[in-house]
Amino acid sequence: MKTQPKPPHIFLTIDVEQDCPPYLNTFRGITEGMIPLLSLLRQEEVKATFFVTGQIAKDFPDVIRSLITHGHEVGSHSFDHCNYTALDRQSAQRDIERSLETLRQFGPVYSFRAPYLKFPQSYLDLLSQAGLAIDSSQAKYKPTYLENPRPTTLRRIPASITSSVLRLPDWIRNPWLGALASPVVLFVHPWEFVDFRQANIPFDCRFKTGTMAIACLREVIHFYQKRNFQFRKMRDVLNEHSDVEQGVATTHSGGKRPYPT
Ligand SMILES: [Zn+2]
């Protein structure tokens, strides 16, 4: 008997932090950008994973509560958007614990993404020790992705493409999106939905920010919906029991295999 092929998967993830780190220290993404973003996700019936810094959760607790109420997942994005490659092991451990201490006041946290998608492989055990199950700190488009993977019990779900690509004209963007293998992992930031076109930040951070970025994200969601992609939250993978599903290797209890490169 023929089995139906499973639909391809996409994870829409949002890194919730101060505006355009390390260039700005404002929080307009939280106070302004989150509103159209959450409304877009509600209209499109998409549930997402929000990687939030502990600092944001501490300073804007209502925002975190509203994410949870709307059925989104909250993961950790460090405490204050540090670069873990510049921290010694003890400081990295302290930061992870501090972030989780704050975030877990709102509910369970299983997923993690390091700021700047930079996390030393030698610190991976700190994440599992802290009770995390999923790491999304790798990026398929960075050279570090080619490093030999260390054995870990964590599920590793790398980002597929950088966020500014989503704001490119559709004739450039769509062939790129169409070439990404399932599971597709996209990420955006709330500050991209605030008009920072005149801000003193790098061009790729500021072009087409504001309402145009919301329009682009809507088009991207439609692009994948039309192609029958299923939108998932990171923690959904914890309920899977097959060894390899849509390119994501599992390392559930008993599995010792690291994520394949
Ligand atoms: Zn970040």
- Tens digit of pLDDT at every position of the chain (261 positions): 566 778 899 999 999 999 999 999 999 999 999 999 999 999 999 999 999 999 999 999 999 999 999 999 999 999 999 999 999 999 999 999 999 999 999 999 999 999 999 999 999 999 999 999 999 999 999 888 888 888 899 999 999 999 999 999 999 999 999 999 999 999 999 999 999 999 999 999 999 999 999 999 999 999 999 999 999 999 999 987 644 443 344 333 333 333 322
Pairing relation of β-strands 248-249 and 244-245? antiparallel
What is the CA(17)–ligand 1 centre distance, in A? Answer: 6
Alpha carbon 56 to its chain's center: 16
What is the CA(19)–ligand 1 centre distance, in A? Answer: 9
Is residue 23 within 8 Å of 201, Cβ to Cβ? yes
Query: Domains (ranges, CATH) in the chain?
Result: 9-249 (3.20.20.370)
What is the CA(20)–ligand 1 centre distance, in A? Answer: 8
Pairing relation of β-strands 49-52 and 73-76? parallel
Burial of 5: CB neighbours in 10 Å, binned 0-12, 13-18, 19+ = exposed
Strand (E) or helix (H) holding 171: helix 170-178
Q: Supply the pTM of this predicted model.
A: 0.90
Burial of 45: CB neighbours in 10 Å, binned 0-12, 13-18, 19+ = exposed
What is the CA(190)–ligand 1 centre distance, in A? Answer: 10
Instruction: Copy the structure tokens of residue 179.
Output: 């070439």
What is the CA(120)–ligand 1 centre distance, in A? Answer: 16
